Amino acid sequence: MGRIFEVRKSSMFARWDKMAKNFTRIGKEIAIAVKASGPDPNNNPALRRCYINAKACGMPKDRVEAAIKRAMGKDTSNYEEITYEGHAPHGIAILVETATDNSTRTVANVRMHFTKCNGSLGTSGSVAFGFTRLGEFKIKNTGQNLEELELELIDYGLEEIGEDSEGNIIIRTAFTEFGHMAKALDEKKIEVVTAELTRIPTTTMELDEEAANDVLKLVDKLEQDEDVQKVYHNLK
């Protein structure tokens, strides 16, 4: 407990391009959540998570409401969630989460990105075993004592607590305890900045700068694909 969470991020996105991508990603998450459990965030934990993350990335409220209305319509796209696995150059494992209305297009594009960046698309299960699926909450650090917060949340599925490189408090739970922790934070009036289901590599690999840039080039290409929601890797 109390460890620092810092994941190497690619930074090749222009600021506005990334904002637009985030809006698209959250719009698809809203559509999936509404189709699955309805438009009421009080009865739909996945939709509540979308509201939190929309606010965090600056997505206007009217765009969130418009996405919900579209999802309730009969003519909207039905998105299928598919995860692809493969390797970037230098043996780095890559997991790609997508939400698509055309899986044939998506797999072709994902394979193209891997190939052009000297990576290889693998089969299902080829790298997923090297990642643990967790719930991750970011809350503002207002001077809380981490040890006291740990004791307060341990009964709600807390597995790890620490800070990120920006000083925010990061709380991680088992995948199955995500809803339990979300409810606890809400009841305790602890403001959540972001709430995500994430995948954490069980081991990481460190590369020199040139090799790392080869990997991050592939990560960027994948992240910019319209069907890709999230990309995970085990680059340290």
Averaged confidence pLDDT in the chain: 91
Instruction: Give CA–CA dist 130/233, Å, rounded.
Output: 10
Residue 19 binned pLDDT confidence (cut-offs 50, 70, 90): confident
How confident is the model over 178-208, as pLDDT tens digits?
A: 999 999 999 999 999 999 999 999 999 999 9
The whole-number pLDDT of residue 4 equals 64
How confident is the model over 70-117, as pLDDT tens digits?
A: 999 876 788 999 999 999 999 999 999 999 999 999 999 999 999 999
pTM here?
0.89
Residue 10 binned pLDDT confidence (cut-offs 50, 70, 90): very low
Instruction: Give CA–CA dist 215/82, Å, rounded.
Output: 22
The whole-number pLDDT of residue 111 equals 98
Instruction: Give CA–CA dist 52/70, Å, rounded.
Output: 19
133: β partners: 199
State in Å, rounded, how far the first CA of the chain is from the last one.
20
How confident is the model over 36-47, as pLDDT tens digits?
A: 999 999 899 999
The whole-number pLDDT of residue 166 equals 86
